[in-house]
Structure 1
Amino acid sequence: MLTAEARIPTDRPSRYLVQLCKHFANKGRHLTHRPRAHTLPEVPPDQIQVEWTDSDGTLRLPWGQCTLHALPGTLRVRVEADNRENLERLQDLVSTHLGRFSKRDPLRVEWQHGTGPVART
C-alpha cells in the first residue's frame, strides 16, 4: 500500500476536517440532481463512504482511502492507495478541496510519502 501524509498548520483543523467530510458525504445526494464541475469522476454515490467526528475522519473511495486527524494547530491528512496513479489522484482531490475551502486564509498542503502506519499523537 502506498501512502502520503500532510501536516497542515491551521487554527481551525476540526472545521476543515468536518467540512471536507460533509462535502463528500453529500456527494451522493446531489450527483443526480445537478451537474457540478468538481464531481468525482467514475464514482457512483454508493461507493463513497464517509465517517467523521470533530477530531477524526475517514473517506473511502474506490481508488483509496483518506484519514484525517484534527490536532491542536494542525490538520493531519493521510492518503492510501494501491498504486501511484490513485495515490496522486487522492492527493490532488484533497488538496484541491482544502484549497477551495480555505480561500480567505489559504492552507498549505505539502505531502510526504511513506509506507508506515498512522502514528496517533
Structure 2
Amino acid sequence: MPTAEARIPTDRPGRYLVQLCKHFANKGRHLTHRPRTHTLPELRPDQIQVEWTDSDGTLRLPWGQCTLQAVPGALRVRVEADDRENLERLQDLVDTHIARFSRRDPLRVEWEPPRPTRHGPAGS
C-alpha cells in the first residue's frame, strides 16, 4: 500500500490538527465544491469518517486514509492509499488545506516515504 509522511514544523500543531479535522468533518461539503483544478471524485457525506482529539486525528475516505499527530513543534501527517493516484489525491488535499489554513504564517508540507519500522522480537 503506497504511503507518504510529512513533518510540518509549527508552534501550533494541535490547532492545525483540530482545524483540519473539524473542516473535514463538516459533512465533506467542501470536498465536493473544489476548484476545477482538482480531480477529486464526488463524495457523499456518509463516505467521510473523521475522528480526533487535541493530539491525534484520522480522516478516512473511500480512496485512502490520513492520520494526523500533534507533537511538540510539528504536525505529523501520514497518508496511505491503495494506489499512487489516490495517494497523490490525499497529499494534494493536505497540501491545499494546510496552505489555506496557514496563509498568515505559511507552513510548508514536504512529503517523504515512510520510515521503515522494525519487526521482530523486542530487543532484537
Write the mapping of 1:1-121 to structure 2, written as runs, cut at 5 A: 1-28=1-28, 30=29, 36-37=33-34, 41-114=41-114, 116=116
User: Alpha carbons of 1:115 and 1:84: their partners in 2 closer, same or farther (altered >3 Å)?
Assistant: farther
> For residues 40-79 of structure 1, what are the alpha-carbon distances to aligned partners after superposition, in whole Å with 9 as ceiling and x for unaligned?
6311110000000000000000000000000000000000
Q: Distance in 1 between matches of 2:56 and 2:110?
A: 20
Q: Distance in 2 between matches of 1:86 and 1:41?
A: 10
CA contact (8 A) 1:2 1:115 kept: no
Of structures 1 and 2, the larger Rg is shown by 2
CA contact (8 A) 1:60 1:66 kept: yes
Q: Distance in 2 between matches of 1:104 and 1:79?
A: 25
TM-score relative to the length of structure 1: 0.85
Uncovered stretches (5+) of structure 2, i.e. residues with no partner: 118-124
Q: Distance in 1 between matches of 2:85 and 2:115?
A: 16
TM-score relative to the length of structure 2: 0.83
Q: Distance in 2 between matches of 1:71 and 1:5?
A: 14
User: Alpha carbons of 1:13 and 1:36: their partners in 2 closer, same or farther (altered >3 Å)?
Assistant: same
Q: Distance in 2 between matches of 1:51 and 1:76?
A: 16
Counterpart code for 2:110: E
Dislocated runs of 4+, deviation >2 Å: 35-41, 114-117
Q: Distance in 2 between matches of 1:62 and 1:115?
A: 25
Q: Distance in 1 between matches of 2:116 and 2:59?
A: 19
Q: Distance in 1 between matches of 2:65 and 2:73?
A: 23
